[in-house]
Structure 1
């Protein structure tokens, strides 16, 4: 029996990018069985564009912008309730190559005897200039189970976390591990969610499934130049460090990365007071507030 796939795409005020994203999704050699667009209260005519240009696509219009985290929370919840076997998650700046979904589904058919064990499958992500975008974290310490050994033989690489830039998440994983934490708003919500799932479940990178992350430049929160947005990076990293999604060794690594990014952000912004204020607020809110 063929696996039923629902593509879940979250968008906000980028209707031209969304149009390109949808065209790529609907032109797949193995198209998804259903497409759900979650519109985060866009004001640029996104909803009207989807209704007119893509009448076959389901549109979920949110009353307010809940960020990527809130969008995926609502989208995954709705798609899961419809009973699809796999949810294909992506942002609106994800442009899937024509065989992306076909290749992403191959481990499911080849390793059909282990289908209940696989929780996440991730595409290889490239920047516009075709250089690799390291959005998925490999898992060199993955247990050498029969499934893992066979998957590696076939060219599928074990992962510890992945981004919401073309991943398949199984219905069983959503049922067991729940939904993303919508209060993250932006940044690190995908790391927390996939790390939570893959702490027990199995996930693989499928190198032949390729998507383009169509951003104008190699975006980095540290050099974004916006202290108000870097606040989310700091707060959410603190939340991630407090969560049960990471192992102790991983928490140590992420702590060092956070310290490094804070220092680089301060230097980039010439240590202006607003930068200090947003970092301090991020740390305080991360410690004393909860993402639940």
Structure 2
């Protein structure tokens, strides 16, 4: 089952749904989470020949909340065994799902997630969605992945990732309090701390961002979410072990410094970073169940998944 989170990009959403409709291996079902769009994204989804289940949220919960709600709806209402996540600016090529499933079947074992290769509209690998490879594995484990046409990873992006629903039920949902940024890093790292994740280069999706760049491109005022959420993750999440904390903590400082140096409006960026630093150090994220309360039946689905999860 595919889950697409949409907000105010109805033209891009139509292309995403066209891509899902054209899969060589059709999706069993598609859920579109309309994240309180002010355009006609919900109408575009409802009228599409794919006939998705449109889950309409009455307030914008951000990408983090949208994916949490969509995953919970997929596993609770539809009893999905696999959940394929993507944003509304992601267009899967015709073989994207088939290649994920082929690699899953070819791998000796049961991977917790499989991620696609994301490219920009000109075919270049998109640096925003480069998965973090898992290093330090024994040779036989790397060979096992290679035999399935895969690379072991430590984290992945929500731009086309296939989740095992059984793992979702054990680990829980993305942290909806993050709103945007680092929610996919935290969630997939949490899943993969003690489990296998695979990147499948032959499964290709097009990520139609406005510009080509990585996460250190100038984010302006949204730098608040980068700083706050990364600090929340480093302080409160079980996703990272001691070595991971040291490595990712150091790489984060380097990335932030690079972001500041490249900014064209450092005053705005530094103010956002300062506020994010204060929030990240002085507060902790609300539970996903609390953040997504008051949204009707989906709130009950979120609580049900959270209640049965151990987060480990």
TM over 0.5: yes
* 1:60 aligned residue: 55
Find out whether 1:106 has 2:102 as its counterpart: yes
Q: CA deviation at 1:144?
A: 4.9
Asked whether the equivalents of residues 218 and 264 of structure 2 are also in contact (C-alpha less than 8 Å), the reply is: no
CA distance in 2, matches of 1:155, 1:133: 20
Structure 2 residue aligned with 1:84 = 80
Q: Offset of 1:290 from its aligned partner? A: 1.3
Is residue 50 of structure 1 aligned with residue 38 of structure 2? Answer: no
Paired residues, what number? 281
Name the TM-score, length of structure 2 as normaliser.
0.85
Unaligned runs of 5+ in 2: 288-312
Q: 1:221 Cα deviation (Å)?
A: 4.7
Q: Offset at 1:278?
A: 1.5
Corresponding residue for residue 119 of structure 2: 126
**Which of 239, 246, 269 pairs up with 1:245?**
239
Match in the other structure for 1:162: 156
User: Which runs of structure 2 are paired with 1:247-266 in the superposition (5 Å)?
Assistant: 247-266=241-260
Which SS does the other structure have where 1:210 is aligned?
A: strand
- Which residues of 2 match residues 19-38 of structure 1 at below 5 A? 19-38=14-33
What's the RMSD between the two structures over aligned residues? 1.8
Higher fraction of strand = 1
Q: How does 1:206-245 map to 2 (within 5 A)?
A: 206-227=200-221, 229-242=222-235, 243-245=237-239
Task: Rate the CA distance shift 1:155–1:224 in 2: closer, same or farther, 3 A.
Answer: same
Cα distance, 1:55–1:178 mapped onto 2, change above 3 Å: same
| 2:35 equivalent in structure 1 | 40
**1:277: how far off?**
2.4
- SS of 1:223 mapped into structure 2: coil
Counterpart CA distance in 1 for 2:265 and 2:46 is 46
Structure 1: 5+ residue runs without aligned partners?
Answer: 1-5
Aligned position for 2:185:
191
How far 1:55 sits from its partner (Å)?
A: 6.3
